[in-house]
Amino acid sequence: MSLTKAEQLPDALSGITGLKLYHLFKPATIKAPYAVWQEDSEGQSFYASNRKQEQVLILTLDYFTQTEYDTVADSIQTALDEAQLAWKLESFQYEAETKLLHYEWVIQVI
């Protein structure tokens, strides 16, 4: 029951041209657009015979951009679909101070 199953997410997004993707923190020199993914918690795991049989991990993915209707956001969703990961767009926010558009997805991996 390895936690490295979380790497299904960066693997799924690896084919998106130009996407700067980081785990947990972005380097200080990197400016938007960029994406950061991280492990969040455990989802509805599967139990049988008095033990956990399959652990479900919840991950989050945050994409920050200054481009309105950024097509990379669409590419991310397409890539998640193609990798057959369960996902939803959790929130979309605009940061007035930084002028950044913030897309947040919640993804579950098995």
Chain residues binding other proteins by CB under 8 A are: 25-26, 28, 32, 40-41, 58, 60, 62, 64, 90-91, 93, 95-98, 100, 102, 104, 106
Strands of 34-42's sheet, edge to edge?
A: 21-23, 34-42, 57-65, 100-109, 86-95
Q: Which is nearer to other proteins, 82 or 95 (CB)?
A: 95
Q: What is the C-alpha separation between 65 and 5, in angstroms, rounded?
A: 27
Place of tokens 């996407």: 19
Cβ distance 105 to 72 under 8 Å? no
Least Å distance, CB 12 to other proteins, is 21
Least Å distance, CB 64 to other proteins, is 5
Q: Which is nearer to other proteins, 30 or 82 (CB)?
A: 30
